[in-house]
Structure 1
Amino acid sequence: MPRALSLWAPMAFALALVPGAAAASEPVVTSIAPDAVAVTIYRAPDRAADSAMNLDWLEGYALITETRSVDIPAGAATIRFESVAGGMLPESALVTGLPSGVREKNLDADLLSARNLYARAYGRPVILRRQRGKDGKGTVSEERAVIRSGPDGAAIVQTRDGFEVADCGRGISDALIYSEMPEGLSARPTLSVRTESTAAKRATITLSYLAWGFDWQTNYVVRLNPVTGKADLTAWVTLASSDPTSFPAASTAVVGGKLDREDSRETRDVQDGDLVLHCYLQPRVWAPQVIPPPAPPPPPMMMEGMMAADIVVTAQRRSAPIMNAPVKVTEEGLGDLKLYRVPMPTTVAANAQKQVAMHDLKSVKFKTWHTADLWDGIDGNATIKLRTRNRKEDGLGVSLPGGPVAVFEPHEADLLLVGQGGMRDYAVNEDVEVTLSSSPQVHVKVRKTASAARWADFEAKVSNANPWPIMFEGMVRLDDGAKLLRPSTPLTRKFGRPTWTVSVPANGEALLRYRVTDPD
């Protein structure tokens, strides 16, 4: 049975940073962090606009633009840009502002993680800390050991007593303590470039690149008043990042609409830093420990419990609470797309999500409909839909990016959730439709009443158990070439299909009879 390993406790060694592809004689200049950064997040291309983000698998991406001030020496040198996004696509990186341009660029991909730390420590001495007993009441002992297995399978160590599988003994809890950082691991994602300058100078450099592991969506809250038929609508832009790097005080924006983009990588390993070992005797969580330096303070908007220097790697990404920022995004045109900009700096925190206000609209004219497809044998509940038109006269008239929708109605002194659904992207002046859940109060049944060789008669019945009237819309499903004849009430056509629209009285029902002929 697999068990995730996590790294905890502070580190007591300095992080040795090794230049990526620099020649031994070239000076290395390190830029620890950007002076300013802008983050523009694009929605996951293959995710439907009305579906929620999968926080365990963010497939959107971000365009990140950093400004850095760097002292460049004369001659050939390597410039290291630390704290770039861990999901950087290095082929997309564009560096401007260097006196003689870029000769070579490299992304240091071996980051400090549970898996990389364990893998690099193969054959090296560590401290095996062993606790016997439960609830911290047992004895604790330490001894030197050597890791003799890779990061897949069991954790095999060699002590002076021989080989054994760590953390597999009954009543024993083991942990590994690493005394040094293996060579080649980097504590921060780093891009290094080689350049050459005729003279020493201070340069302002702009670094732009694409990075995976981001996404965004709009979340709508509708407070519906069934008496007036109007609603208050609040929209929030939800930003999400699974990247290990935080971007404090960033100029942040999101792009609405679908932008086609192809990536040469077909898959992305979401557990790149995870370490999962197996113990077939008595599985238990085994926590290897690293003794690190003191942690720096978190960025201003970092989520609680998500400190930047924490190194906690498990089989599940850590979730962070949502924080609400007291600002509203503004809308701008971007060709056929829409750009929504956060008007003040905000932090896009590592492995976290947050929300920023987008719309707060009052007295939006919504109509509640109950709908169903009508076909022989249907016997079930109708689907609830909210409809309006995206124009100022109806309380809207703004671009509406797609996203999940939660609908509430007043009940005595409280607001109760009455439905959840989603809607696609809507432009101004489009008809808006929000599909919610099925209604247990409105039942639809279609039965065959008569038939012959080339035709059949049907009766559709809608039953309304609500103490108020409802509007029902039923689209008749026909085979190709079939025709509908003799409807008991006039029908319209919607999307090319015969459509029955009727008001069903409170605690009442409505009937439609019609004939369907077979295709010629």
Structure 2
Amino acid sequence: MRFRAAMILLGGLASAGTAQTVVHSPQADKVAVTVYRDPNGSGAMDLGWLEGFAMVSETRRVSIPAGESDIRFEGVASGLIPQSATIEGLGDSVIEKNRDARLLSPGNLLGGLLGQRVHLRRTSRATGKIVEQEAVVRAAPNGVVIQTDAGIEAMDCSGLSEALLPAKVPADLSAKPTLSVRVRAAKPTQATVKLTYITTNFDWRAHYVATLAPDGKSLRLFAWLTMANGDETGFRDAEALAVAGRLNREDRERLEPAIEPIRLQCWPQGRTHEIPLDLDVPPPPPPPPPSAPMMEMASPVSVVSEDIVVTGSKVQAQREDLGDLKLYRIPIPVTVASQSQKQVAMIEQPAVRFEQFYRGRTWIDNRTDEPEALPLIIRFQNRAKDGLGLPLPSGQFTLYGQYDGRPFLLGEGRMTDRAVNEQVDVELADAPGVRFAQKAIGREDNDDEVEIRLTSDLDRPAHVEIRVSMSDDQKLRGSPLVKRDGEWWWIVDLPANGERAIRLRYRDTD
């Protein structure tokens, strides 16, 4: 498992010989998770590589004793960014903030026990019985070396069962992602603490599902808000929000969590008389790879896998303005589980007027050996009189039609962010019904001539728009093209099962 998140402990341990009171806060009483999407993200989200982020606000009730103490907030997000953490409710009692990234793992556990006495339980090679004795850890985790009454030896080289049993876990290791601060209080007090921080490993997407009406003149537009949590920590009964828009945010340094596996290395492999002396004899095959827990330490935080939860359209995200951004608030508490995705309805418009056409792009000196299919474009105006008029976050777009009472897929594309009253064009996959070809006709008086031909095998007329691009040193010579938005376009209506062609002359002026 790759750990690219920032795991921190704000608040150090007491110096050697100093008794330090530790106050544990195992979980938040109330939590809100606001997810910001990756502005460059598209397509399906990979839980192992989410490039969005979230702002987490936790409310906790803690009992603070008089004097100095460490307050340990357990169960924070493992992707927590240290510089972003703020704590309200402790006043000026905070006296020290440090950070550490040591999580409880086999390697970290043994590394923290160096030079300390542990209990060793092993199987005797001679008798096959369980033997228990004291040992001192001398080296770990890249090969575990222990010292017993019999001397120094590498552990786990006998091939029999062996286990080290420490009397306690080192105080600087934590089994959960933990954030802690050291405080000094004049008297015992009860405090309501609000902990706010930014964390990586989150993202969200919009996914639009459009279904054509039977008359083919409108479509039902539905959008899902899909929220993804790739972190090792989940948040139960959270207030969940998603923010749309581009946020100016700089990359921050991430603290990699120090999670060490144990790498056991033994020599010699087998007994001396079993090692071949003949150099022509190939060496024995390497031992099989160690099991997954030995090769790579699993996260110390429980990973709960949860399927996508499809929430009925009656529970729909509520849109709010957040300056230039848009905020979508899920109106009920939800569980933003670890390593999971969750969906909730975001937009539902029953009848959006639209038009469909085919669009192509070409250069005037382009040539095609075979006819090429043109993509289908769905266009609608984002305005109330056309059945819409809502801010539309970017996302995937899926178009369905109906045949014999059942839906079937017509194509998929992607929408970019669109404000109210803007035009929306969604390019779907290439449609084989309308095809485009371009060939050279000849050259006359330093002019080149090309022919662009469109063919259709559809049983209905089709509107087609072809953008014809040219370099700065190419000039049209009397063209029927139309100029629109600074570009030349051939705009034509193809009859059912028909074709159309156009010839263009141009000259290179360089």
Q: Give the letter for the 1:234 counterpart.
A: F
Q: In the TM superposition, what are the counterparts of 1:472-511 in structure 2 within 5 Å?
A: 472-487=464-479, 490-511=480-501
Tell me the residue number matched to 2:273: none
Does the C-alpha gap of structure 1 residues 61 and 288 become closer, same or farther in structure 2, counting only changes over 3 Å?
closer
Residue 367 of structure 1: which of 355, 358, 363 is its match?
Answer: 355
CA-based RMSD: 3.8
2:291 to 286, 292, 300: 286
Query: What is the rounded CA distance, in whole Å, between the counterparts of 2:301 and 2:46 in structure 1?
Result: 23
Could you tell me which residue of structure 2 aligns to residue 197 of structure 1?
A: 185
Alignment-mate amino acid for residue 504 of structure 1: L
State the partner residue of 1:43: 37
Partner residue, 1:323 = 309
What are the superposed Cα offsets for residues 114-161 of structure 1, whole Å, 9 maximum, x if unpaired?
Answer: 7756876899888899xxxxxxxxxx9999999999778xx889999x
Deviation at 1:197, TM superposition (A): 2.1
Specify the SS of the correspondent of 1:393: helix
What is aligned with 2:222? 234
The aligned residue for residue 409 of structure 2 is 417
Larger radius of gyration: 2
Secondary structure, aligned partner of 1:87: coil
- 1:336-375 per-residue CA deviation (whole Å, 9 max, x = no partner) reads 1111111111111111111111011112112222111123
In 2, Cα distance between equivalents of 1:286 and 1:469? 63
Deviation at 1:185, TM superposition (A): 2.7
Query: Is 1:354 the equivalent of 2:354?
Result: no
Length-normalised TM-score, structure 1: 0.77
Could you tell me how far apart the structure 1 residues matched to 2:392 and 2:423 are?
Answer: 11
Corresponding letter in the other structure for 1:478: M
SS in 2 for 1:106: coil
- Matched with 1:72 is 64
For 1:333, which of 314, 321, 338 is the aligned residue?
A: 321
Task: Classify 1:426/1:117 alpha carbon distance in 2 versus 1 (closer, same or farther; 3 Å).
Answer: farther
String of CA shifts for 1:103-122, please: whole Å, max 9, x gaps: 22234422235775687689
What residue is the counterpart of 1:207 in the other structure? 195
Map residues 34-183 of structure 1 onto 2, 5 A cutoff.
34-45=28-39, 47-48=40-41, 50-113=42-105, 116=108, 179=165, 182-183=169-170
* Identity fraction in percent: 37
User: CA offsets per residue over residues 202-244 of structure 1, 9 Å max, x none?
Assistant: 1111111111111111111111247423211111111111111
TM-score normalised to structure 2 length:
0.78
Q: 1:475 to 1:278 in 2, by over 3 A?
A: farther
Aligned to 1:296: none
Paired position in structure 2 for 1:297: none
Instruction: Work out whether residues 139 and 146 of structure 2, in 8 Å CA contact, stay in contact via their aligned partners in 1.
Output: no
Instruction: Go from structure 1 to structure 2 and tell me whether the alpha carbon gap of 1:463 and 1:426 turns closer, same or farther (over 3 Å shift).
Output: same
Q: Which residue of 2 aligns with 1:28?
A: 22
Counterparts in 2 of 1:236 and 1:339: CA distance versus 1, 3 Å: same
Q: Which is further off, 457-466 or 273-282?
A: 273-282
- Assess if the C-alpha contact under 8 Å between 1:485 and 1:516 holds in 2: yes
Tell me if the contact between 2:10 and 2:99 (Cα under 8 Å) persists in the aligned partners.
Answer: no
**1:385-424 per-position Cα deviation (integer Å, ceiling 9, x unaligned):** 2111111111111111101112211132321222122111
* Contact 1:108/1:191, CA 8 A, preserved across alignment: no
Shift in alpha-carbon separation, 1:508–1:101, aligned structure 2, 3 A: farther
Q: Specify which structure has the bigger relative contact order, considering alpha-carbon pairs within 8 angstroms and separated by 6 or more residues.
A: 1
How many equivalent residue pairs?
460
Label 1:425 to 1:276 Cα distance change in 2 as closer, same or farther (>3 A).
Answer: farther
- Counterpart Cα distance in 2 of 1:229 and 1:210: 46
> How far off its partner does 1:493 sit?
2.4
Structure 2 stretches lacking a partner, 5+ long: 3-8, 266-284
> Over residues 289-325 of structure 1, what are the superposed CA-to-partner deviations in whole Å (9 max), with x where a residue is unaligned?
9xxxxxxxxxxxxxxxxxx99757xxxxx86421123
Q: Which of residues 222, 225, 230 in structure 1 aligns to 2:210? A: 222
**Which whole-Å deviations, capped at 9, do the CAs of 1:452-498 have from their partners, x for residues lacking one?**
463211111111122222221100011114222333xx433233111
- The partner residue of 2:509 within 490, 495, 519 is 519
Q: Tell whether the 8 Å contact from 2:10 to 2:179 is kept in structure 1 after alignment.
A: no
* Cα deviation, residue 166, structure 1: 8.6
Give the deviation of 1:440 after TM superposition. 2.1
Give the superposition deviation at 1:377.
0.8
**Unpaired runs of 5+ in structure 1?**
6-16, 130-139, 290-307, 313-317
Alpha carbons 2:352, 2:388 under 8 Å: kept: yes
Cα distance in 1 for partners of 2:458, 2:390 equals 33
Q: SS of the residue aligned with 2:83?
A: helix
Which stretch of the first structure deviates more once superposed, 327-336 or 23-32? 23-32
Q: Secondary structure at the match of 1:239?
A: strand
Q: Distance in 2 between matches of 1:18 and 1:424?
A: 40
- Distance in 2, Cα, partners of 1:228 & 1:262: 46
Kept in 2: contact 1:382–1:442 (CA 8 A): yes
CA gap of 1:483–1:310, structure 2 versus 1, over 3 A, is: same
Report what 2:442 is aligned to: 450
Contact 1:90/1:106 (<8 A) preserved: no
Q: State how far apart, in whole Å, the 1-side matches of 2:331 and 2:27 are.
A: 23
Task: State which of 249, 252, 271 in structure 2 corresponds to 1:261.
Answer: 249
How many angstroms apart in 1 are the aligned matches of 2:451 and 2:245? Answer: 43
